[in-house]
Every structure is written in structure tokens, then in C-alpha cells.
Structure 1
Amino acid sequence: MKLEIDPTTYQEIAKVIHSDQSPVGIDAKKTHILILNQLQEINDRLERIEKQIAK
């Protein structure tokens, strides 16, 4: 399992989810929305692949 991320990508993500108002330093709502959106995109791609395989 690859759990490493390149420093440039890491910094880009950190900038997007950062929040000075949060005690933990990130905007939890924005973070969850990004995660859910990415999961939906993965699900959509998987469904397209499954349909292609079923043909």
C-alpha cells in the first residue's frame, strides 16, 4: 500500500484544507467534502469499468 505523497501535492492539499479558525488546523467540512467527492469519482469510474467488462 502506497501511503506516501509527494511534497508538492501534500502542500497543495494542505493549503486547500487549512483553517485558522479550527483548533486542529483544518476545515473538517471541506476535508470531508473533498474525500466524499473523490470517493464518488472512484465509484463512477468503477461502474463504467464494470459495464465495459459486462459487455
Structure 2
Amino acid sequence: MQYFNRAYRRSGTLWEGLYRSCLTQAEGHMLASPRYVESNPVRAAMVMQPADYR
């Protein structure tokens, strides 16, 4: 990791700033979020149905 940080003039871990979270307040949004995540492989044409993606 030190090599990567020096080579690309970075500091910290490779995962730093990659993930974040936020509060979901509306019930409709709480239900839509998992649907969005589950349908990503379908939109990317990786599978035909969400259940086909392992």
C-alpha cells in the first residue's frame, strides 16, 4: 500500500472515501432502494432476471 500511495500521491487506505451511507426517511424510498440495487445486473445486461444474479 505504501508503494501505491507514493506512486499516486495518496495517503490513507485504498478504501478511504469509497463507501458512504445516508439516512432514508421516506418509506417509499426505503422500498425503492433495494429494488434499485437488485435491478442493477439486469440494467447492465449481465442477467435476464434479478434472481439469476448470484
Give your verdict on TM over 0.5: no
TM-score range for the pair, normalised by the shorter chain length = 0.3 to 0.5
- TM-score normalised by L of structure 1: 0.35
Q: Whose helix proportion is higher, 1 or 2?
A: 1
- TM-score normalised by L of structure 2: 0.35
Structure exhibiting the larger radius of gyration computed from Cα positions: 2
